[in-house]
Amino acid sequence: MTCWVILPIILAAVSFFGSWAVYGLALFHNHVCSLTNWQNKNSCDFNTSETCCHVPTISTSGRNAPENSLFTATTNAGSFLFLVFCMSHHAHIMERNFSQALLSKAALALGCVVSIGTFIAGNCNPGYLMLLHYVGAAMSFVCLCFYCLLLTMLTRRCTLSGLEYLLYPTRIFFTFIQALVTIGCILSTHSSSSSSSRCSYE
């Protein structure tokens, strides 16, 4: 059962290399701006000239062919690996700390929602199914924050590896960062949408 600990490493590797490969393909085909040379005023949301380009987010990078196939494959692999991790972690807690079954089941349920949301976001191209894509992304990011919170609580209450004295403060730190980044993304998306609406009105 302890072999499940390699799943986060595999998940991180798939997500990291897959995301950068998607961005590299999108940049190669001039579908997004370069990370080192883009400004919000040059975004196609605000600038309709031929020199505009899309802001290089993971969603816009995976919008067009051929990189959209790799984007879908990466998100599908990530959602599957995350689901397997959640199930394995829950099974490990049931084996070692059955008294925390309720909290672990809640974390498992949230993990399943995260996996489903990621699958929806990855398979609904934002160029054609924007609403479903962003609904899936919202499900994934928001539920991931709560999942990380429950995982941190389980780390404090359960003894699984003997390294909880290191894992607990580390997970507190990264859960806090995750929440800040998610809130920041939500606020920036709302701000960009408002600005785009004003520009369209003008």
Q: What is the pLDDT along the chain (202 residues), one digit of tens a residue?
A: 556 678 888 999 999 999 999 999 988 888 888 877 666 555 666 555 556 677 788 888 888 888 899 999 999 999 999 999 999 889 888 888 888 889 999 999 999 999 999 999 999 988 888 899 989 998 998 899 899 999 888 888 877 666 677 777 888 888 888 888 878 776 665 455 444 434 333 4
In angstroms, the CA 4 to CA 185 distance is 31
Positions of E strands within 81-162? none
43 secondary structure, DSSP code: B
Containing 86, the helix (H) or strand (E) segment is helix 67-96
In angstroms, rounded to a whole number, what is the distance separating the alpha carbons of residues 81 and 91?
15
Q: pTM, whole model, 2 decimals? A: 0.81
Alpha-carbon span 188 to 181, nearest angstrom: 10
